[in-house]
A and B are shown apart, each in its own frame.
Chain A
Amino acid sequence: MYTEKVMDHFQHPRNVGEIEGASGVGTVGNAKCGDIMRIYLDIDENQIIRDVKFKTFGCGAAVATSSMATELVKGKNIQEAMKVTNKAVMEALDGLPPVKVHCSLLAEEAIHAALWDYAQKNGIEIEGLEKPKSDIHEDEEEEDY
């Protein structure tokens, strides 16, 4: 069902953990749907992502996309990090089963949410970055079960 790369990132996820006093933290997803991703960014004064960590509650694809997304943004500046789309994450993993494409979207959103948090804290604007739409608490209120 999963490619070798997905299995590799699931079995040996890169950058798992937390960053104390992170420059930006973003959490997206919804426990009801079975996926939550949290990304921590450590961004230096030159707007370079020096370190990145993640924690994920979710399926194999959710873990693998989080892991790959952190690899893709590490060492990049924030403009470059903005270009890490869900498509780029999927390609880097050699593809995902159709039902798992939403996991890669979540990974993109998690990066954006962490960048948004960084931008808010520092009073800056990042080109092309909009307020993340996926917030756990918002979702819980919006969805009617």
Chain B
Amino acid sequence: MERLIYLDNAATTKTAPEVVEAMLPYFTEHFGNPSSIYGFAAANKEVITRQREIIADKLGAEPNEIYFTAGGTESDNWAIIAAAEAYEAKGRHIITSKIEHHAVLHTCEYLEKRGYEVTYLDVGEDGLLDPAEVEKAIRPDTILVSIMYANNEIGTIQPIREIGEITHAHGVLFHTDAVQAFAQIPISVEECHIDMLSASGHKLNGPKGIGFLYIRKGVKIRSFIHGGAQERKRRAGTENVPGIVGLGKAVEMAASTMEERTRKESELRDYLISRIEKEIPYCRLNGDRAKRLPNNVNFSFQFIEGESLLIMLDMKGICASSGSACTSGSLDPSHVLLAIGLPHEIAHGSLRMTLGADTTREDVDYTVDCLKDIVAQLRSMSPLYEDFVKKQEEEK
């Protein structure tokens, strides 16, 4: 392939060469188990602590409030299930939203089967949650509110601070899945009254298979993975030292470049959005225009189906993703797109493009040029478009 334009940074990102370089010695010379007594291995304990400090600093947290996990999904599972078990005596009611990642939704469904009650809050057409709805849903037996910081499909940034103030005032635990938001937008666990926060390494040019859960001091959730005494006895298993080092390096880099990188990304994002809106008819931007991640673009194109669109983009060297059923492995299109009120056939024709630090204006121009042709080509063979055109002619 001559050209590869990677516009799927919400799926995963390229591990930065500096990150790989930082990790490599921890596979080879510094391979020791951090729990061992002898010096060269025990030194890895210090290394891990340093990474904890780096991460805690970016969230305004204490280092001993950061617990390393195998990634965002484990962090979400741990936070929700362990909180449900720990606070069972108070009640069995959990509040979340309809647009959460499956790591949260399927965990909530798991708890429902075990006697917990879950309220799934609606979002508006813009994908935003109304904090007043959270307050209304809180009951005396509510033990946890879990609302994602920013949505992985439509990029919408939720009013986390307002929600945190509400949960804080009601004495209810607040968890947020910040997998997409962490290192993309500034986050303060203090200001937002966040009790638990999930994040992942591979979304910020770090390695896969590593993430963390922030647990505020005083939140009494227990271990989810049982075994040794690692992570202050709350997450057993020999530490993924290379992964932790890579995550620390990635966080350090992402934080130091955040301002400039996200400014550039949001400019390109808005340019991409405006070109599509000007040049491709019958499309719709999904998610709020302003309260969205700097790198997220999500459109629905009427009369066409997402998987076809993705294959044709792939043939032009463009990598993107879709909320169509065919890409989800089920008959239903994305739950997020349905939750913002899109009819099924419009949700099937969605396209998500998530920019990265290396995305250029030329990449965006090339993508829109290809997209215009592909959408036109797919419409020319769509019976839905044929019906639409005939109906328009009749109305004339």
Partner among A33, A55, A57 whose Cβ is within 8 Å of the Cβ of B331: A33
Q: A57-B303, A60-B311, A63-B308 are in contact. Are A33 and B384 (CB under 8 A)?
A: no
Partner among B329, B344, B381 whose Cβ is within 8 Å of the Cβ of A55: B381
The answer on a CB contact under 8 Å between B383 and A57 is yes
Q: A33-B325, A34-B325, A37-B383 are in contact. Are A59 and B307 (CB under 8 A)?
A: yes
Partner among B311, B343, B384 whose Cβ is within 8 Å of the Cβ of A36: B384
Count of B interface residues, CB-CB < 8 Å: 24
Q: Is B238 an interface residue (CB 8 A)?
A: no
Q: Is B270 an interface residue (CB 8 A)?
A: no
Q: A31-B348, A33-B331, A34-B325 are in contact. Are A59 and B305 (CB under 8 A)?
A: yes
| Nearest residue, chain B, Cβ from A17 | B381
Question: Please, which residues of chain A bring their CB within 8 A of the CB of B37?
Answer: none
Which residues of chain A in 83-132 are interfacial with respect to chain B, using CB atoms and an 8 Å cutoff?
A: 99
| Nearest residue, chain B, Cβ from A33 | B331
Q: Is the interface of B mostly helix, strand, loop or mixed?
A: helix
Partner among A36, A38, A55, A59 whose Cβ is within 8 Å of the Cβ of B324: A59
The answer on a CB contact under 8 Å between B380 and A57 is no
The answer on a CB contact under 8 Å between A31 and B344 is yes
1/0 contact string of A33-72 vs chain B (CB within 8 Å): 1111110000000000000001111111011000000000
Distance from B290 Cβ to chain A, minimum over Cβ atoms (Å) = 31
Determine the distance from Cα of A55 to Cα of B304 in the docked complex, in whole angstroms: 11
The answer on a CB contact under 8 Å between A32 and B344 is yes
Which residues of chain B in 177-210 are interfacial with respect to chain A, using CB atoms and an 8 Å cutoff?
A: none
Question: Please, which residues of chain B bring their CB within 8 A of the CB of A145?
Answer: 344
Determine the distance from Cα of A36 to Cα of B380 in the docked complex, in whole angstroms: 14
Question: Please, which residues of chain A bring their CB within 8 A of the CB of B383?
Answer: 27, 36-38, 55-57
Question: Please, which residues of chain A bring their CB within 8 A of the CB of B381?
Answer: 13, 16, 54-56, 63
Q: Is A79 an interface residue (CB 8 A)?
A: no
Distance from A75 Cβ to chain B, minimum over Cβ atoms (Å) = 22
The answer on a CB contact under 8 Å between A34 and B311 is no
Determine the distance from Cα of A35 to Cα of B383 in the docked complex, in whole angstroms: 10
Q: Is B315 an interface residue (CB 8 A)?
A: yes
Q: Is A135 an interface residue (CB 8 A)?
A: no
The answer on a CB contact under 8 Å between B315 and A11 is yes
Determine the distance from Cα of A23 to Cα of B168 in the docked complex, in whole angstroms: 69
Question: Please, which residues of chain B bring their CB within 8 A of the CB of A57?
Answer: 303-305, 345, 382-385
| Nearest residue, chain B, Cβ from A56 | B381
The answer on a CB contact under 8 Å between B307 and A60 is yes
Question: Please, which residues of chain A bring their CB within 8 A of the CB of B384?
Answer: 31, 36, 57
A18, A58, A63 — most chain B CB neighbours (10 Å):
A58
Distance from B123 Cβ to chain A, minimum over Cβ atoms (Å) = 18
Question: Please, which residues of chain B bring their CB within 8 A of the CB of A62?
Answer: 305, 308
9 closest A-B pairs (Cβ-Cβ)? A31-B345, A59-B307, A32-B344, A59-B326, A38-B383, A55-B383, A34-B348, A57-B382, A34-B325
Which chain A residues have a beta carbon within 8 Å of chain B's beta carbons?
7, 10-11, 13, 16, 18, 27, 31-38, 54-60, 62-63, 99, 145
Could you list some 15 contacts between A and B, CB below 8 A?
Answer: A10-B311, A11-B315, A33-B344, A34-B305, A34-B324, A34-B333, A37-B383, A54-B381, A55-B383, A56-B382, A57-B303, A57-B384, A58-B305, A58-B308, A62-B305
Q: Apart from A32-B345, A34-B305, A59-B324, what 15 extra A-B contacts exist at CB < 8 Å?
A: A10-B311, A11-B315, A27-B383, A33-B344, A34-B331, A34-B344, A34-B345, A36-B384, A38-B386, A55-B381, A55-B383, A58-B305, A60-B308, A63-B381, A99-B329
Which chain B residues have a beta carbon within 8 Å of chain A's beta carbons?
303-305, 307-308, 311, 315, 324-326, 329, 331, 333, 343-345, 348, 380-386
